[in-house]
């Protein structure tokens, strides 16, 4: 009987050079979608799925991301003095969502290596991985949709989405047989293939439910695409040994890992928020 997913790993290392100049001083995971940093959305999605134990993997120099989840005494005092209960609740919400453990990836060796840093934290449980660049708005949290498939079929599950051909060389691509209702049995995974070699247009989006066997496969795997230790390769190494499924999730996804993507995420979020309705109308943008 597959276990319930209780723990999540959020890899948030990386220098964020695509966002220069802002990332010269501000870590990418703290870049905002309106007034919430990217990392908040990842933690909130886990919490909404009932996952409250979270390990965040950071590179040295990104301590401000860890600070975001630590109590802010002076701000708390100031809000109390002013009697600003609404903002005090916002501040408390950051800390009440989850218990966050901060781990360090000392060298930028790839996503697989970042996840391996969480091995002791995870132990031998099936766990979630949430990439904070990938924002997903959905009724049922995307990671919960994957956990449901893992509960039903056992093994590991990756989130999937059909993508245009120009996106294929930047993503993990899935070779799979459809089982119906958005679930596919995975036959192969290939990280960042040239378009001509891609087995399909079904790409991995940054949500995973993985068995703990992935850690040994990361450890013993060779470097892959871009010379990095790829999570995709370690997941693919389990094919034939344990079940692996892809879930075409229900929801709207935006890759906020580029300036244009982050801008799109801001517009998307603004169209949903009542407090942005006026400016959305002024700009001639339609509400959601």
Closest contact distance (angstroms) between CB of 49 and ligand G1P is: 19
- First-residue to last-residue Cα distance in the chain: 41
CB of 97 closer than 8 Å to CB of 44: yes
CB 245 within 8 A of CB 159: no
Nearer to ligand G1P, 209 or 276 (CB): 209
Q: Closer to ligand G1P at the Cβ: 79 or 131?
A: 131
Nearer to ligand G1P, 113 or 269 (CB): 113
CB nearer to ligand G1P: give 10 or 171. 171
Q: At what angle do helices 142-153 and 38-48 cross, to 10 degrees?
A: 40
Task: Give the DSSP letter string of 41-68.
Answer: HHHHHHHHTT--EEEEEE-TT-HHHHHH
Place of tokens 């679930």: 183
Smallest distance, ligand G1P to C-beta of residue 108, A: 11
Query: Nearer Cβ to ligand G1P, position 133 or 248?
Result: 133
Binding site for ligand G1P (CB under 6 A): 111, 131, 133-134, 171-172, 191, 203-206, 230-232, 255
Name the minimum Å distance from CB 125 to ligand G1P. Answer: 22
Q: How far is the CB of 132 from ligand G1P (least distance, A)?
A: 10
Helix (H) or strand (E) holding 187: strand 183-191
Measured from the CB of residue 46, what is the shortest distance to ligand G1P in angstroms?
A: 17
Tokens coding 146: 């994957």
Residue nearest to ligand G1P (CB): 172
């Amino acid at each position: 009987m597959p276990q319930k997913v209780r723990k999540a790993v959020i890899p948030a290392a990386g220098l964020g050079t695509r966002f220069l100049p802002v990332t010269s001083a501000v870590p990418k995971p703290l870049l905002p979608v309106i007034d919430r940093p990217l990392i908040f959305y990842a933690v909130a999605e886990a919490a909404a799925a009932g996952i409250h134990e979270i390990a965040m993997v950071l590179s040295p120099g990104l301590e401000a991301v860890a600070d975001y989840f630590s109590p802010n005494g002076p701000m708390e005092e100031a809000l109390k003095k002013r009697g600003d209960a609404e903002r005090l609740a916002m501040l408390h919400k950051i800390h009440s969502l989850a218990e966050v453990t901060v781990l360090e990836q000392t060298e930028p060796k790839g996503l697989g290596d970042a996840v391996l840093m969480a091995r002791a934290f995870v132990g031998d449980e099936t766990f979630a991985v949430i990439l904070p660049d990938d924002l997903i708005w959905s009724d049922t949290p995307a990671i919960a949709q994957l956990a449901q498939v893992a509960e039903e079929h056992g093994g590991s599950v990756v989130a999937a989405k059909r993508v245009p051909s120009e996106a294929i060389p930047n993503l993990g691509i899935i070779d799979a047989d459809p089982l119906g209702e958005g679930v596919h049995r995975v036959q192969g995974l290939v990280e960042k293939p040239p378009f001509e070699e891609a087995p399909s247009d079904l790409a991995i989006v940054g949500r995973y439910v993985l068995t703990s066997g992935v850690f040994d496969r990361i450890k013993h795997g060779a470097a892959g695409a871009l010379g990095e230790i790829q999570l995709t390769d370690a997941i693919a190494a389990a094919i034939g040994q344990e079940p692996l499924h892809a879930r075409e999730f229900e929801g709207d996804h935006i890759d906020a890992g580029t300036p244009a993507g982050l801008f799109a995420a801001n517009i998307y979020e603004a169209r949903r928020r009542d407090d942005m309705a006026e400016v959305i109308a002024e700009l001639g943008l339609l509400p959601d």
